[in-house]
Amino acid sequence: MRTQVAIIGAGPSGLLLGQLLHKAGIDAVIVERQSGEYVLGRIRAGVLEQVTMDLLDEAGVGQRMHQEGLIHHGFDMLFKGERHRINLDHLTGGKKVMVYGQTEVTRDLMEARQAAGLTTVYEANNVSIHDFGTEKPRVRFEKDGQSHEIECDFIAGCDGFHGVCRASVPQSAIKEFEKVYPFGWLGVLSDTPPVHEELIYVNSPRGFALCSQRSQTRSRYYLQVPLTDKVEQWSDQAFWDELKLRLDPQARDQLVSGPSIEKSIAPLRSFVTEPMRFGRLFLAGDAAHIVPPTGAKGLNLAATDVKYLSTALIEYFQEKSPAGIDHYSERCLRRIWRAERFSWWFTSLMHHFPENGDIGQKLQEAELDYIIHSDAGSRSVAENYVGLPLNFGESA
């Protein structure tokens, strides 16, 4: 099999890259080790920045997003038992975010790829990449008991944190930066109306909480829990009881509880690998970086990686210029570290760190009080939350 770009991973970043390349007339094959049903079954975040919305429109898959997505013009920060709104519209000159689940983004991209008759290999076993330091990289995999090989010009590693692409890079050629947080997020998905029309981020002496949503009838809630906790320890009733203890009285009264349709505990980490290009192999999305979910930067960062990479590859094939691919890593990393900084800061501000004692809680509350009463503080939070422009800080 021969293609111009072999994409490893059929999550949203791999599918979005494939769609953008297809729109530019560049051939790409996607190889995924899981089934399509498994990929669609993964529960992930659902807050899209304007840059990501624009990219999905550019890829031709934004129609359902605009019909069903929920536009949010702000969000609430709750501390000391009271809620305060961050008005994104006012603070950023009209910018906004949209609540639209990652599962739905993936579905839209899958359906577009299928409708175009493009090749995606699901349930590919023993995927391996070869010769990406040469001009003739290859991808090998097994499918239905038979061995296959793809010859290509470039390999895009969109296969996540545990994927084969980053693991195939010699350790001497790569540097990894990581911080693992001492707690996780216990998440519950329920077919109940959201407690509030916008998100509520909660700083509480009992721990962080987040009230989120997927639609007008489906809610997503999170609690900060110790890493030693197991999902089995948390009954639905125990979850709702603890959430109420972290909310303000109004939200507590308005909360509609119900059976969970999904419950899981996700660890939190900050992770970045440098560089993101190794010869003709490029890393994108979770293969190259992980952010704590506070502030919902993960999917949006992956989308901007893909924008930079698709632009660079289109420039290479159509204009015979290597400039874009030569600067891909540097350009991505500058944006990634900004998002990592914000996610780390927001996580550090909103979560309970027992080792910091009572003074740690008081200092968090003082910073939150400053943020909501300072135009500069509120604007900084809002600017980062809606997402920095693609060319932020770049030379003209």
Residues annotated as catalytic (active site), given as ranges: 72, 201, 293, 297, 385
> What are the contacts of 238-243 at 24+ separation with CB within 8 A?
239/186, 239/188, 239/263, 242/206, 243/209
Nearest Cα neighbor of 15 from 280, 284, 391 is 284
Contact between residue 13 and residue 105 where contact means Cβ atoms under 8 Å apart: no
Judged on CB neighbours under 10 Å (0-12, 13-18, 19+), 353 is middle
Task: Let me know how long the chain is.
Answer: 396
211 vs 243: CA distance, rounded Å? 9
Compute the Cα dihedral for 290, 291, 293, 297 and give only its sign.
negative
Which whole-number Å values give the CA distances from 158 to 120, 193, 288, in the listed order? 14, 34, 9
Contact between residue 271 and residue 176 where contact means Cβ atoms under 8 Å apart: yes
The total of other beta-carbon atoms located within 10 Å of residue 392's CB is 11
**Three-class SS of residue 142?**
strand
C-alpha gyration radius of the chain: 21
Contact between residue 164 and residue 154 where contact means Cβ atoms under 8 Å apart: no
H/E element holding 228? none
283 vs 276: CA distance, rounded Å? 5
343 vs 353: CA distance, rounded Å? 16
Strands of 175-190's sheet in order across: 82-87, 74-79, 200-202, 209-213, 219-226, 175-190, 260-274, 289-290
Contact between residue 243 and residue 209 where contact means Cβ atoms under 8 Å apart: yes
